[in-house]
Amino acid sequence: MATERHYSPIDRFLLQADAAMKTLLPASAHAHRPSPAIVQPDTKMSEVDTKHVAGLMRINHTGEVCAQALYQGQALTAKLPHVRKAMEHAAEEEIDHLVWCEQRIRQLGSHTSVLNPLFYGMSFGIGAVAGLISDKVSLGFVAATEDQVCKHLNEHLEQLPIEDEKSRAILEQMRTDEEQHAEGAIDAGGFRFPRPVKFGMSLLAKVMTKSTYRI
C-alpha cells in the first residue's frame, strides 16, 4: 500500500483508465462476494413484471456505475492518504453491486443502459471536483449520495413482485452496504450537506432514473 505514494501521474491515469474500462465494459468486472441471488429460487414472472424488474435493476446498475466513477474521481484528488484509501476500498465493495445487478439484468433477458458512459463521465468529474475542494466535502458528498441510493433501493424493494426473491436479496444486501458507506463517511469527518443541496442531488438522481429505466 505504501508504494502507492510513488505512483507517477501517468501511472494514476492508466489505473483510472483501467478502472473505467472494467466499470463500463460488460462482464469485465469481478465481484469479491457471490451474489445473494444465488441461494434464492428461480421463479417465473409475467412478461410485464419481468420487464419492470429489468428496468429497476438497470437503474441500480447505472447507479453503481456512477458510484464507481464518483469514488474513483475522489480517490484521484483526495489530499489525505487515508481518505484516498477509504475511497478506493469503498469502490471495491461497490464492484460487487455492479456485478450483481448486471448478472440479474442478463438473467431477466435485458441489457444495461447505453447511457452509462455519459453518467460515468459526469460522476467522475463531480467526484474529482469534490476531492479538490476538500476531503471533508468529498466524504460528505459520499454520505449524501449513499443516502439517495438507499431511498431509491427502498422504493424499488416496494415495487418488486413478491415472487422475485433473487432481485430482493440483491437489493437488500446493497442497502445494507450503502448504509454502512454513508455512516463511515460521516464518521471519517464528512460534512453533512444542507437540505437544499440534497434536494438538488435528488433532482439529478430523478433524471438518471427516468432515462435509464428503458435505455
- Which superfamily, per CATH, for 46-212? Ferritin, core subunit, four-helix bundle (1.20.1260.10)
- Helical residues (DSSP H) of 6-115, grouped into ranges: 9-24, 47-77, 81-107
163 is in an annotated binding site: no
Provide the 10 A C-beta neighbour count for residue 204. 13
Give me the pLDDT at residue 201, please.
77
Instruction: Let me know: does 207 contact 118? Beta carbons within 8 Å.
Output: no
**Regarding predicted confidence, which is higher, 205 or 52?**
52
For the chain, domain boundaries: 46-212
152 is in an annotated binding site: no
47 is in an annotated binding site: no
178 is in an annotated binding site: yes
DSSP 8-state secondary structure symbol assigned to residue 162:
T
Assess whether pLDDT exceeds 80 at residue 124: yes
Instruction: Let me know: does 191 contact 137? Beta carbons within 8 Å.
Output: yes
Please give the grid coordinates belonging to residue 174. Answer: 446493497
Residue located via cell numbers 464507481: 68
Supply the pTM of this predicted model.
0.87
**Regarding predicted confidence, which is higher, 6 or 43?**
43
183 is in an annotated binding site: no
**Regarding predicted confidence, which is higher, 51 or 90?**
51
111 is in an annotated binding site: no
Give me the pLDDT at residue 127, please.
85
What percent of the chain shows pLDDT beyond 70?
A: 92
- Indicate the average pLDDT of the chain: 86
Give me the pLDDT at residue 1, please.
40
